[in-house]
Amino acid sequence: MRIFSGIRPTGGLHIGNYLGAIKQWIAMQESNECVFCIVDLHAITTPYDPKELQKNILETTAVYLAAGINPDKSVIFVQSAVKEHAELAWLLETITPMGELGRMTQYKEKSKQHKDYINAGLFAYPVLMAADILLYKTQAVPVGKDQEQHVELARTIAKKFNQKFGQVFPEPESILPKVGAKIMSLTDPKKKMSKSDDPKSCISLFDSPEDIQKKIMSAETDSGKEVIYNVTKKPGISNLLTIYSLLTGRTTQDIEKEFKGKGYGDFKKALAKVVIDYLEPFRRKQKELQTRDVYVKDILDKGASRAKTIAETTMQEVRQKMGLA
């Protein structure tokens, strides 16, 4: 299968991005043709600092590599290096109804979050994402829960294009992890963990052991003191149990048994150790890659040239079908 997925280089990738998306990518690259993108054109739809963008792109690439994406197997590249993404997005905009875009949850949430920054790019974001996916004739898109609606729209757009102009695109499906598709904020377990939220609400993949310890120990928990998985009654502890389970491969029932009769404090201390140990190779690899900018840029250049070959072929077909060539 051809797989495509991407992450916005908006700084500080967190454990939600890892458990919801990147962890699935690693498993998939063994037996599929994978294209993993750093979607900088999406990053500029919300407030950002142009001086930080290149640094964030390299940092996101470092996360991909530290997590285990193999550049010899998978294509890793920066979205803006392949101009066909923007071209296809424009063409697809001409067949996307405004109404479909207006009902997208992310658009509504981000518009609320950034009232002074509601731009046309933010509104058209899902069309650019459809272009990212369709450009590579992608069959499956591994994402977290919050992006499922956008992949569904990409399917609708593919169907519409094929009906109107003739068959070009497969209809992509989203692939969500069974557990971990929506890791919640540490400070408000009713909200999803988000990069652009308060740093205390997320565990960044490159956080120091001290910061991880502090954030977990002060994570919002629920009334009572039993360590029990119950999303409705104990959303805070359930979120922490999910993280513990995903990082250790143990079931939540098994973890509950271990902490029976102990309080939240003991559980949080143990979780902090699990997270610190799990992320140790990420911190090490990041340090190593910080001194190897040339190597990282070379991976991105090679990836862009492989991506471009596929993208150009698709665009020739699209231009012909649409009467533009």
Q: Which CB, 161 or 215, lies closer to ligand AQP?
A: 215
Report DSSP letters for 48-112, one per residue.
--HHHHHHHHHHHHHHHHHHT--TTTSEEEEGGGSTHHHHHHHHHHTTS-HHHHHT-HHHHHHHH
Binds ligand AQP (CB under 6 A): choice among 33, 52, 87, 146: 146
Q: What is the C-alpha to C-alpha distance for residues 255 and 179, in angstroms, rounded to an integer?
A: 15
Active-site position among 51, 73, 83, 110: 110
Instruction: Kindly state whether residue 247 participates in binding ligand AQP, applying the rule CB under 6 A.
Output: no
- Work out whether 204 is an interface residue with ligand AQP (CB under 6 A): no
The answer to whether 255 contacts ligand AQP (rule: CB under 6 A) is: no
The answer to whether 115 is a known catalytic residue is no
Candidates 3-11, 74-82, 210-218, 301-309; binding stretch for ligand AQP (CB under 6 A): 3-11
Q: How far is the CB of 292 from ligand AQP (least distance, A)?
A: 24
* Alpha carbon distance, N-terminus to C-terminus of the chain: 29
Catalytic residue among 23, 195, 215, 234: 195
Q: Which stretch binds ligand AQP (CB under 6 A): 47-55, 131-139, 178-186, 295-303?
A: 178-186
Verify binding: residue 8, ligand AQP, rule CB under 6 A. Answer: yes
Please give the Cα distance from 205 to 281 (Å, whole number).
10
Q: Report the alpha-carbon distance of residue 235 to residue 184 in Å, rounded.
A: 9
User: Among residues 141 and 318, whose Cβ is nearest to ligand AQP?
Assistant: 141
Give the separation between CA 9 and CA 19, rounded to whole angstroms. 17
**Does 182 engage in binding with ligand AQP (CB under 6 A)?**
yes
Instruction: Tell me the two tokens of residue 284.
Output: 């090490």
**Total residues contacting ligand AQP (rule CB under 6 A)?**
20
Q: From the list 195, 215, 234, 268, which residue makes contact with ligand AQP (rule: CB under 6 A)?
A: 195
Alpha-carbon distance of 318 to 321, in angstroms, equals: 5
195 catalytic residue (yes or no): yes
Which is it for strands 140-142 and 75-78: parallel, antiparallel or unpaired?
unpaired
Query: Hey, which residues are catalytic here?
Result: 110, 192, 195
